Amino acid sequence: MTEDDLDRNRRHFLTVATAVTGVVGAGFVAVPFISSLKPSARAQALGAPVEVPIGSMQPGEMLRVLWRGKLVFVLRRTEAMLSRLTETVDQLRDPDSAEVDQQPDYAVNDTRSVRPEFLVVEGSCTHLGCAPLEDFDVRPAEGWGGGFFCPCHGSKFDLAGRVFKGVPAPTNLRVPPHRFVRDDLILIGQDSGAA
């Protein structure tokens, strides 16, 4: 091997080593940059839409998520829960969801939902903002068919988040904008293309 061949091999090795080092360095720079483009947890809490996977939810199960710093309940109602929605209509303050600021147009129905099986409501009592507790047990002697109860001042809401008459809360629980991205995924905070 001549000295020119050795120089050529060294130059080739240095060129390849420099290129590999440059590619690795670019990767180390690009990863944090690309990661910075995703909304932070703070940005999501301030208003970015929140994805809620619902594929593994069982009937009667409820999830709690944060959106815009607010607690949101996602309840998968059972057939029995849905059938009880008509039993207490005469005891409700706004059974037809006439208060337009409480829900989007697609949730102005008997179940206050896009799909009857899934209820999506803000978990904040409309009286003073306390967090109502779920109480899905049926107690016929008390006239209770299940729903949400605010222990602070006694406000009651049915399984569609509709407020009962004679309690401090003036309106139904709010339904946030949301849509089904897929059968197993809800996007809270965005409702364009609600299905």
What residue ranges do the domains of the chain occupy? 1-38, 43-188
Q: How far apart are CA 88 and CA 34, in angstroms?
A: 52
**pLDDT at 145 (0 to 100):** 85
**pLDDT at 45 (0 to 100):** 53
Q: Token pair of 26, please?
A: 């670019």
- Does residue 178 contact residue 138 with C-beta atoms inside 8 Å? no
Q: What is the pLDDT of residues 79-96, one digit of tens each?
A: 999 999 988 889 999 999
**pLDDT at 192 (0 to 100):** 72
Q: What is the pLDDT of residues 16-50, one digit of tens each?
A: 888 888 888 877 777 776 666 666 666 555 668 99
**pLDDT at 53 (0 to 100):** 95
Q: Which residues of the chain have pLDDT under 70?
A: 33-47, 193-195
Burial 117-130 (b: 16+ CB within 10 A, else e): bbbbbbbbbbbeeb
Task: Please give the single-letter amino acid code of residue 121.
Answer: V
Task: Please give the single-letter amino acid code of residue 30.
Answer: A
Cα angle at 79 between 60 and 176, to 5 degrees?
A: 60
Q: How far apart are CA 145 and CA 70, in angstroms?
A: 26
3-state secondary structure 91-128: HECCCCCCCHHHCCHHHCCCCCCCCCCEEEEECCCCCC
- Does residue 184 contact residue 53 with C-beta atoms inside 8 Å? yes
Q: Tell whether domain 43-188 is in CATH 2.102.10.10.
A: yes
